[in-house]
Amino acid sequence: MTIERVIRIMAGFFVMLSLLLGVEGSPLFVSRWFLAFTAFVGFNLFQSGFTNFCPPSILLKKLGMKDDGPSCAR
């Protein structure tokens, strides 16, 4: 698995988790403040599209994950 793929999976997981915890109709609702985390993840995806700066990619590279092809990891 490549860095780009792991980052996409992480972002999708965090969005789904924060929606699950932040939407009042959810069976796992905790607080509406979890929707701020959804916005944070979306903002980071947005800025990495323009700047190619993606902090998780730095960590994943140091952990030895394969960097293959164009991605936010370059």
pLDDT value, residue 8: 93
Q: Which residues of 3-33 are buried (b: 16+ CB within 10 A; e: fewer)?
A: bbebbeeebeebbeebeebbeeeeeeeeeee
pLDDT value, residue 72: 55
pLDDT value, residue 67: 83
* 17-72 confidence digits (pLDDT tens): 999 999 999 999 999 999 999 999 999 999 999 998 998 999 999 999 988 755 55
